Amino acid sequence: MEIIENILYYVIPFIVLLGVLVFVHELGHFVVARMLGVKVDEFSLGFGKELCGKTDKKGTRWKVCAIPLGGYCKFFGDEDAASASESEKLKSLSESEKKHVFQLMPPSLRLLIAFAGPAANYVFAVLVFAVIFFTLGKMTFPPIVGEVIPNGAAYKAGILKNDRILEINGHKINDFNDIRYEVDLAVDGNVSVKLLRNGAEKELSFNLEKLDGAASDENSVDAEIAQKPMLGIKSVNVVEVDYAPLGIGEAFYEAGVETWDITTATLRGVAQMITGKRSGDEVGGIIRIAEMSGDITKQSGIIDFIVFMALLSINLGLINLFPIPLLDGGHIVICLIEMVTRREMGAKVKDALFKTGFALIMALMIFATWNDIARLINRWFA
């Protein structure tokens, strides 16, 4: 019975989540490629053996494969990850066929096709947020404690996971951002916190403390702010809706602001990891995504799952814009270099770059998987 429950809550939502995000991303590449005259041989959800598929009138094979951990668009003439244009196969094509080959397109058009995937993920996120804001109302991230940082101020004061922060220094707290604001205003370092625990209100008074490098959602910004005394808590992975729908224009504006804020917060977090101000233990991979999607499905509603999908779509789009060979950002950088130099980058150079990129991505995947497994072990024993 437990196995069936885990499949329902963890496996199926994860496959749906990943399938939608990959489809959106690859559809961006596909649509722009078709618009620019590039022929697409395959549009695949998943890797490995084909489970089912259909070929459309323009010769594209749409298929679903056995390993649901990604997907791809295979353009006409593609032979390797470097998208080199010097292969014997390409040289043997007729002039009319060469007009539909991705590798032989001008770098400006190849740049547009590469950028279209991440852009589609961002458009999807904005649409999700806008629809929620327009139909239900503005989302807020509730001031509920998702995690208490060990040895932080909140930990020592006795604040617990799932406590809801009601007031700080007499000021009402409506969402998690209000906590950050009130903590920043506590110039003397002392706070009075009113919280709700199991239906009963409780008041605590204590001094804020620095986190000694531990990560916190309260103020994940630059080095100066990271040295400020904090509560030492993280938010919970749920959202609340105030059920006051916005107008269509305001909904799209707020959706754009929300998407921008998530992007900048993510970039700050990445910068802190690179500079060592934030722990690399927070890096997660496929297992972590499956775990979080399952937890949200099991504990929350469909709105939280859809919002989580939008958050991951932003992260997928952003990560793919990083200038790493093999990712879309790597292709974009190569296209920009070719546009400036007015000559195609050599096949050997591309091959070396993409091998380096592959090694880097594999190393990140192994590191993320290690973190995921360690987190799961700690969760099981906890």
The per-residue pLDDT for range 1-42, each reduced to its tens digit, is: 566 766 666 788 888 899 999 999 999 999 999 999 999 999
Does residue 174 share a domain with residue 105? no
pLDDT over 60 at 217, yes or no = no
Q: For the ranges 65-79, 151-165, 221-235, 350-364, which has the lowest average pLDDT? A: 221-235
Indicate whether 321 belongs to any domain: yes
Q: What is the mean pLDDT of residues 85-99?
A: 67
Residues 6+ apart with CB under 8 A from 25: 71, 117, 118, 120, 121, 316, 317, 320
Give the pLDDT score at 131. 94
Does residue 168 share a domain with residue 131? no
3-state secondary structure of 278: coil
Q: What mean pLDDT is reported for the chain?
A: 82
- CATH code for the domain in which residue 194 is found: 2.30.42.10
pLDDT over 80 at 240, yes or no = no
Final residue belonging to a domain, choices 211, 237, 263: 237
Indicate whether 286 belongs to any domain: no
Does residue 312 share a domain with residue 225? no
Locate tokens 């404690």: which residue? 145
Residues 6+ apart with CB under 8 A from 241: 132, 136, 137, 138, 139, 140, 303
> pLDDT tens-digit profile of 270-315?
877 777 666 666 677 777 777 777 778 777 778 888 988 999 999 9
Does residue 153 share a domain with residue 217? yes
Final residue belonging to a domain, choices 217, 237, 257: 237
Which residue has better confidence, 329 or 358? 329
- Active-site entry in 2, 5, 26, 95: 26
Residue range of the domain that includes 356: 2-137+306-381
Final residue belonging to a domain, choices 237, 261, 290: 237
Does residue 225 share a domain with residue 125? no
pLDDT over 90 at 70, yes or no = no
Q: What is the mean pLDDT of residues 190-195?
A: 87
Indicate whether 226 belongs to any domain: yes
Indicate whether 82 belongs to any domain: yes
Indicate whether 342 belongs to any domain: yes
Q: What percent of the chain has pLDDT over 90?
A: 29
Q: For the ranges 105-119, 125-139, 346-360, 368-382, which has the lowest average pLDDT? A: 368-382
Q: What is the mean pLDDT of residues 67-80?
A: 81
Give the pLDDT score at 337. 92
pLDDT over 60 at 213, yes or no = no
Are residues 38 and 75 in contact, defined by beta-carbon separation less than 8 angstroms?
A: yes
From CA 156, how far away is CA 349, in angstroms rounded?
55
Does residue 182 share a domain with residue 152? yes
Does residue 131 share a domain with residue 50? yes
The four Cα atoms 329, 334, 336, 338 give a dihedral, to 10 degrees, of: -170
Indicate whether 242 belongs to any domain: no
Does residue 7 share a domain with residue 119? yes
H helices, E strands: number in the chain: 13, 10
From CA 373, how far away is CA 216, in angstroms rounded?
22
From CA 239, how far away is CA 236, in angstroms rounded?
8
Q: How confident is the model at residue 218 (pLDDT cuts 50, 70, 90)?
A: low
Does residue 130 share a domain with residue 186? no
Does residue 157 share a domain with residue 117? no
Indicate whether 278 belongs to any domain: no
**How many separate domains does the chain show?**
2
Q: What is the mean pLDDT of residues 69-94?
A: 68
42 is catalytic: no
Q: For the ranges 54-68, 126-140, 218-232, 244-258, which has the lowest average pLDDT? A: 218-232
Does residue 153 share a domain with residue 132? no
Which DSSP state fits 51? E
Which residue has better confidence, 162 or 88? 162
Does residue 131 share a domain with residue 183? no
Single pTM value for the model: 0.75
Indicate whether 323 belongs to any domain: yes
